Amino acid sequence: MSLFRTELRRLAKRRFARWMTVGGLLVLAVVVAGMFLSNQKIGPDQWAEAERAADQQHQQQVYWAEQERANCERAKAAGERFYTTECDQISPPLREDFQAEWFLPSTFVFRDSFGEMLIPLAAILAMIGFVVGASFVGAEWSTGGMMNLLLWRPKRLTVLLTKLGALLTGLLALALPATVAWFGSMWLVADLRGSTERMTSGVWQSFLLTGLRGIVLALVAATVGFALASLGRHTAMALGGAIGVLVVGQVAIAMLLSMIQVRFLDAWLLPTYAYAWMTKQVELRDWRSCNASYTGECQPATLEITWQHSSALFTVGIVLVLGGAIWAMRRRDIN
């Protein structure tokens, strides 16, 4: 019997993996429902309502300006010095100052908004991959299943890497259709409650590459979770390590760097690199430095974090953590 197929079946039959997957997909479904309910398609009725709202706002501002000018004239006549300006300078705003676009309801424009909507998809898939990956191998160690498996197939690295391959294959089998469904559901939301105009081949290519980077991020998270749990021989090792690094460590680092006033503090935080990986580039600004432009404006110093920086960080992390798990598998006793 193939070890790989056995591990795939073992992964598919784990109740925790099933419920974790169902929970993640339900969260994505709630996001889609929220986007559908919170947006509207802009048509003649919405434009007419926006024009009425702009007119109403303009009339209110005209009324307030007239009232203020009347109060000013009375105060001047009574000799009061409450107003420092001339009363004739208090004039009502023009109707052109109130644009109907300001009063339009929220609408989902696929070209403008879908790129950002790929980030929560990648985050949910990464969370599923990390937790399921950690529990997949962690449970084997804590219940003694790993020892029994090694009696049947005594090649340690083959067993460990085959488990990892089965995990990544299973996650890929989930992530690909989930990403396709996300594209389709958001396109439907835009078609019914927004706009799908101005879509070109270049825009589609950009969205597809972003979706692919989201899948890669999920695979990286699954590999890290798997390797951490294998190092600690328990699921809690990976989950505790994630909490320690992402919550305690990142908050402590942020507070410390803020106190000592380190430039570009966000460059030391992991979420910055995950976001840069998805958006291709993040520009950090240091407002404490001021480079005066030719117009006299303050131009803060900037630092660009690109997806290349993120890929280098992910690669180093995987090499260290997975390499440590492989080294420990070869060196430590199995008992």
pLDDT digits (tens, 9 = 90+) for 269-278: 888 899 999 9
Quick one: pLDDT at residue 47? 86
Both tokens of 93, joined, read 């705003």
- 288 near 266, Cβ under 8 Å? no
- Which region, left, alpha or beta, applies to residue 300 given φ > 0 means left and ψ of -120 to 50 means alpha? beta
Over residues 109-137, the mean pLDDT reads 91
pLDDT level of residue 254 (50, 70, 90 thresholds): low
| Better-scored residue on pLDDT, 286 or 106 | 106
What is each CA distance from 69 to 65, 79, 88, 124, 280, in whole angstroms?
Answer: 6, 15, 7, 57, 53
Instruction: Determine the longest span between alpha carbons in the chain, in angstroms.
Output: 102
pLDDT at 173 over 90: yes
Quick one: pLDDT at residue 152? 65
Whole-number Å distance between alpha carbons of 52 and 49? 5
Whole-number Å distance between alpha carbons of 108 and 115? 12
pLDDT digits (tens, 9 = 90+) for 222-244: 999 888 888 877 655 556 555 65
Average pLDDT, the chain: 83
Quick one: pLDDT at residue 246? 61
pLDDT level of residue 285 (50, 70, 90 thresholds): confident
| Better-scored residue on pLDDT, 74 or 22 | 22
102-111, 149-158, 264-273: which has the minimum mean pLDDT?
Answer: 149-158
Place of tokens 């699954």: 222
pLDDT level of residue 42 (50, 70, 90 thresholds): confident
Over residues 244-270, the mean pLDDT reads 68
Rounded to 5°, angle at Cα 100 from 96 and 102: 110
pLDDT level of residue 119 (50, 70, 90 thresholds): very high
Over residues 151-156, the mean pLDDT reads 68
Contacts 24+ apart (CB under 8 A), 258-265: 261/288, 263/288, 263/289, 263/301, 263/303, 264/303
Whole-number Å distance between alpha carbons of 127 and 27? 12
| Three-state SS at 133 | helix
pLDDT at 219 over 90: yes
pLDDT at 184 over 80: yes
- 289 near 263, Cβ under 8 Å? yes
| Three-state SS at 289 | strand
pLDDT at 118 over 60: yes
pLDDT level of residue 283 (50, 70, 90 thresholds): confident
Q: Which residues contact 276 (CB under 8 A, 6 or more apart)?
A: 282, 305, 306, 307, 309, 310
What is each CA distance from 62 to 50, 56, 83, 98, 207, in whole angstroms?
Answer: 18, 10, 19, 12, 46
70-79, 157-166, 208-217: which has the minimum mean pLDDT?
Answer: 70-79
Quick one: pLDDT at residue 248? 60
What residues pair up with 195 in beta bridges, in sequence order?
A: 109
pTM as predicted: 0.81
| Three-state SS at 62 | helix
pLDDT digits (tens, 9 = 90+) for 306-323: 999 999 999 999 999 899
pLDDT at 134 over 80: yes
Question: Which residue stretches of the chain are H helix?
Answer: 3-13, 15-38, 44-77, 110-143, 145-152, 156-193, 201-232, 235-243, 250-259, 270-279, 307-331
User: How far separated are the first and last CA of the chain, in Å rounded?
Assistant: 25
What percentage of residues in the chain have a pLDDT greater than 90?
34
What percentage of residues in the chain have a pLDDT greater than 70?
81
Both tokens of 261, joined, read 């006033």
Quick one: pLDDT at residue 168? 94
1-5, 130-134, 204-208, 290-294: which has the minimum mean pLDDT?
Answer: 290-294
**Domain spans of the chain?**
3-41+110-331, 46-103
pLDDT at 183 over 90: yes
pLDDT at 295 over 70: no
